[in-house]
Amino acid sequence: PGEEDSDSSKVVCFCFCPDSTWLEIVVCGWPREDWEARINENEWNPEASTEILVEEVAVRYPQATVQFKCASFVTGSIHGALKRLLPAKRREETRAERDSRDQEYAMLQDFVVMKMRELGNQSASPIFVRQFGEVMDSLNEAQIFELTEDNEEIISDIVSIYETQGREALELHVQRLREGGESDGMEE
């Protein structure tokens, strides 16, 4: 079940190929016992989703409604057209949000580079770039995408573990962070 599934709703996704366009909806008023039974009995055929919703769910549960949650266009050819369709105000808001994320991520990258160099990493550029990429990948796995006062120490620990104990120790540390476990930052 999806995150928004509940006792009276079910998230349903449709893929429109070959352009890899996804549409996510929430069917409200569809009891869990009905949609869960269909899934548990392997009776959910994604190709027949529309038919199931129209011919079964709508008939059994006439009070059911549909909320359109998300449309994803996983093809580059539509990006420009979608940008042109946005109202000017929303286009500016979107650009400002993107620029803010880019700036926050750049600050995180600068911090990581400085920490790596402070800890004595004097590797030549090609090696350093690979090592830097490994640290950034670990931060992404730990769901850290910006530098804040709250996570500065965690980021410093991650860089320190990588520089002093290597990639495997760092992967173990990040795994513990993702699992919600406490890690003292240094492996035995």
CA 133 to chain centroid: 19
Which is it for the CA torsion 133, 135, 140, 141, positive or negative? Answer: positive
pTM higher than 0.85 = no
Q: Residues in the chain, how many?
A: 188
Per-residue pLDDT at 184: 47
Residue 9 backbone phi and psi in degrees, to 5? -155, 160
- If you search the block for the tokens 């550029």, which residue do you land on? 125
Identify which of 34, 25, 15 has the alpha carbon closest to the alpha carbon of residue 65: 25
Per-residue pLDDT at 186: 40
Whether residue 46 is preceded by a cis peptide bond, meaning omega within 30 degrees of 0, is no
Which CA distances in Å does 13 have to 17, 53, 60? Answer: 13, 12, 21
Q: Hey, is 156 helix, strand or coil?
A: helix
The answer to whether the beta carbons of residues 47 and 40 sit under 8 Å apart is no
The answer to whether the beta carbons of residues 21 and 72 sit under 8 Å apart is yes
Angle at 115 between CA 149 and CA 136, to 5 degrees: 80
Q: What pLDDT tens digit does each residue of the chain (188 aa) get?
A: 456 788 999 888 777 765 567 788 899 999 999 988 887 776 676 677 888 889 889 999 999 999 988 777 666 566 666 677 778 888 888 788 878 878 888 889 999 999 998 898 887 777 888 888 899 999 988 889 889 999 999 999 999 999 999 889 998 988 888 887 554 444 43
Task: Find the helix or strand (DSSP H, E) in which 113 lies.
Answer: helix 88-118
The answer to whether the beta carbons of residues 25 and 69 sit under 8 Å apart is yes
Task: Find the helix or strand (DSSP H, E) in which 112 lies.
Answer: helix 88-118
